[in-house]
Structure 1
């Protein structure tokens, strides 16, 4: 994308925003309704794009991408009028007589850079928030998911206002050119390496950013659990989420040495039940997105300190870009598989003497996007919530917290900046503007020069809330 074209795109959007087009409630509703209609009318095309990009099973595409996106859109439509209302806040005596409120306003023209693993939902969800908040925007889908990117380029202009909402396709060159422009906010979903590039580019214009990144999300498993249910939830949360190619998929398990073998057997049984004896032939597992990521994952397995730890799986089919669900037991803590976010079907299991040791291990790592605990021990649950820092925490399940629109979704530390989903998406693309309105009555002489000891006494005690000072001030003492 040429710089001059990028500048023209931003200028067009800024002209539409300055004209006030996007601020109207009716415009926002019409665009959200357009998204909902697109999702319903183009469900087949969305599934076909996801199948082409990731080999994603239709059930998974519907549950994790289509239904979540539709729900987010309908939730925004239902709540939008309430979100847009000014929020009344208390006035204080020093401002008497006055009223105070917080008015929300759109930031302006925003850039949304999406990612490839959930290329539909992770594109459209922030778009929903930006539109609900009244912004003009550019969506830059991931070139690594070309079919979904092409879907947006074709259908967003058909269902939405192209003078305020534009799609720019392309790869690194196009993204770099877009980042050179001045935006009112940049929303990026992806990895930390590119996140740093986005932040550096945004800093040149003092542009605020939201970074939805990832990290090594741990699963701590107590022996005091319903193991049959826990195993199913872990398996579907790891391999039923894009075959592990998900930012909130379990990255590693921690359990006690005494319970590890029991847990491993339960996971093996569940994996075989879900995906058969030859998981490479299963239609319910997504493929690895491309050959680069396939090689990255096989390189992790080829490490001799890791390959010797394979308990289950490890099979590969380079032609189909498939890797079987793989369990690894007691891998070295300094191995690459424990240092990098796996983002694939490999699941190391770390053993500790007692479960409380797992908290120190987790906290020694960069803060994850999600942390999971399986236990019936309420004391352990409280300790986990209080002492483990993560973007979000889920007890006795995996990944489901993203489906609750009343919860913020985002990272902390290395796993991201900012949050979205539900009203948090609206807030992510809004500025909260404080407004104070005063009347002309009860003007207090003590605030004006020339200052005297008596005026200072009244003001000091007025600020401290002294009723004597309030009464004197309202009566106009001390006088000039």
Structure 2
């Protein structure tokens, strides 16, 4: 079957095209571009970011249609993508400036990694490619992209759009199996948008040529929500339902995996509205089996939902109360629209449970009392902590997002660039006095910049009067040495 062209007809095909996307020849082209240093030019980076931003704006209907055909959901992050691309374009000059030290004899510059592999995922097929792509381009890298095979419409759109929009010598799509890519093609950095046992096993395989390649990968864990007794239940229910059921049918690592509810709030139900579809039959069958095993336990209560349709990949928003930590719903990451509710005595009990279960990508706390957040904030570890919301962080571009979910893609590009220390020893004067001490340190730390120049100038002439300095060269050396 011939793949239908998105630009001729906005209706997509069922098969992802298998032609024109080689392996080693693409890598050789990208390596040649890395060697040419073309991607390190600020003008080139800005040009690519501008073109990518323009494509997102001009083809938002086409993008939304492709995502809808894959997951039957509405793409709600186009505005976020636009904002992040524009933010990278507008701030690139500042991001690429060297970081200077106190005496200006040493500085830190960020250098592009070189050739980066971005592996997209099915749950956020578009964002998992475009967000890291923006950061990788801003850092000056060449990029190879592997889209998800489970989202053929979005993958087809990207495969037809990226070669048209961006520099085809620096950014290419690979339509090969992931094991083949990792075992045969060498990269300088690999970015996985989701935790994957397959990726971990492949990279540890002795056959892999990327055993020593740095890898950026989401740290796995269950996102948790705690509802305190003073939370506004109506608003809390709406926000939790949106984050769990409305965003990709619960198939997201940042969606609440379970909810800890204070005893005083426990009897009140949580309701849901917006919806989507499960990715495939295998995953839906897994969810059905796990839910059936949970409901077979006498202490479990089905608050609502539970109906499913294997033909249409449909599973109702489902809330189960009376769940304990050892139950089937709590053993693995469900990645679906099933929300377990656990009763806890107080916030300290909630903090203990969260802490014992390890890292969480997102922790949400619903309360009207600020001090209630302290035990969870101080004693648990999570990528993001939100108070009185469950999903707003995905629509924000934080300057340096670290340690957690998709760490980097909402702001600057540190993971896609390596730090290099540059130390410059300047002329005779600074070789004799590399450390700034005494009155010079006072001047450097506490005086405004213009006064530093005045003080150094006066000190020079006093020193010259007793024959210690070497004319204007000495003045310039001192100014250069102590001004940050």
Band of TM-score, shorter chain = 0.7 to 0.9
Partner of residue 13, structure 2: none
> Retained in 2: the 8 A contact 1:368–1:411?
no
Partner of residue 461, structure 2: none
Offset, 1:252: 0.3
Instruction: Please point out which of 36, 41, 44 is paired with 1:27.
Output: 44
Q: Which runs of 5+ in 2 are unaligned?
A: 1-17, 440-467, 469-484
2:209 & 2:168 partners in 1: Cα distance? 28
Q: Structure 1 443/56 Cα, relative in aligned 2: closer, same or farther at 3 Å?
A: closer
Partner of residue 233, structure 2: 227
Higher helix proportion (structure 1 or 2): 1
> Retained in 2: the 8 A contact 1:188–1:211?
yes
Paired residue secondary structure (1:420): coil
Per-residue CA deviation, residues 258-285 of structure 1 (Å, 9 max, x unaligned), is 32002x2xx13xx2xx3xxxxxxxxx41
Per-residue CA deviation, residues 192-234 of structure 1 (Å, 9 max, x unaligned), is 4234235526785421111025421010000112222111111
Per-residue CA deviation, residues 28-54 of structure 1 (Å, 9 max, x unaligned), is 111111111211222222112111110
| Structure 1 stretch displaced more, 177-186 or 16-25 | 177-186
Partner of residue 94, structure 2: 82
Q: Structure 1 422/132 Cα, relative in aligned 2: closer, same or farther at 3 Å?
A: same
Partner of residue 422, structure 2: 435
| Alignment map for 1:22-171 (pairs within 5 Å) | 22-57=39-74, 61=75, 63-64=76-77, 66-91=78-103, 99-170=105-176
> Retained in 1: the 8 A contact 2:315–2:337?
yes
Partner of residue 289, structure 2: 299
1:316 & 1:349 partners in 2: Cα distance? 20
Partner of residue 215, structure 1: 221
Instruction: Please point out which of 278, 281, 285 is paired with 2:275.
Output: 285
Per-residue CA deviation, residues 5-29 of structure 1 (Å, 9 max, x unaligned), is 5222212101011101111111111
Offset, 1:388: 1.4
Offset, 1:441: 1.3
TM-score, structure 2 as length reference = 0.81
1:406 & 1:187 partners in 2: Cα distance? 19
Offset, 1:78: 0.9
Q: Which runs of 5+ in 1 are unaligned?
A: 92-97, 275-283, 447-461, 468-474, 476-480
> Retained in 2: the 8 A contact 1:214–1:248?
no
Partner of residue 197, structure 2: 193
Paired residue secondary structure (1:71): helix
TM-score, structure 1 as length reference = 0.82
Paired residue secondary structure (2:256): coil
Per-residue CA deviation, residues 417-436 of structure 1 (Å, 9 max, x unaligned), is x7213444x11111121111
Instruction: Please point out which of 315, 319, 341 is paired with 2:333.
Output: 341
> Retained in 2: the 8 A contact 1:371–1:394?
yes
Paired residue secondary structure (2:23): helix
Partner of residue 420, structure 1: 408
> Retained in 2: the 8 A contact 1:117–1:242?
yes
Partner of residue 406, structure 1: 398
Partner of residue 350, structure 2: 358
Q: Structure 1 306/242 Cα, relative in aligned 2: closer, same or farther at 3 Å?
A: farther
Partner of residue 454, structure 1: none
| Alignment map for 1:1-16 (pairs within 5 Å) | 5-16=22-33
1:198 & 1:402 partners in 2: Cα distance? 30
> Retained in 1: the 8 A contact 2:223–2:258?
yes
> Retained in 2: the 8 A contact 1:369–1:411?
no
1:443 & 1:150 partners in 2: Cα distance? 59
**Equivalences, count:** 423
2:140 & 2:128 partners in 1: Cα distance? 19
Paired residue secondary structure (1:357): helix
Q: Structure 1 378/257 Cα, relative in aligned 2: closer, same or farther at 3 Å?
A: same
1:233 & 1:8 partners in 2: Cα distance? 48
1:198 & 1:213 partners in 2: Cα distance? 17
> Retained in 1: the 8 A contact 2:348–2:375?
no
> Retained in 2: the 8 A contact 1:216–1:341?
yes
Offset, 1:380: 1.6
Q: Structure 1 395/203 Cα, relative in aligned 2: closer, same or farther at 3 Å?
A: farther
Q: Structure 1 174/203 Cα, relative in aligned 2: closer, same or farther at 3 Å?
A: closer
> Retained in 2: the 8 A contact 1:242–1:286?
yes
Partner of residue 360, structure 2: 368
Partner of residue 463, structure 2: none
Per-residue CA deviation, residues 115-145 of structure 1 (Å, 9 max, x unaligned), is 0111111110000000010000101011111
Paired residue secondary structure (1:299): helix
Q: Structure 1 214/407 Cα, relative in aligned 2: closer, same or farther at 3 Å?
A: farther
Partner of residue 184, structure 2: 180
Paired residue secondary structure (2:386): strand
> Retained in 2: the 8 A contact 1:288–1:322?
yes
Per-residue CA deviation, residues 422-471 of structure 1 (Å, 9 max, x unaligned), is 444x111111211111123147789xxxxxxxxxxxxxxx989689xxxx
Paired residue secondary structure (2:73): coil
1:233 & 1:111 partners in 2: Cα distance? 35
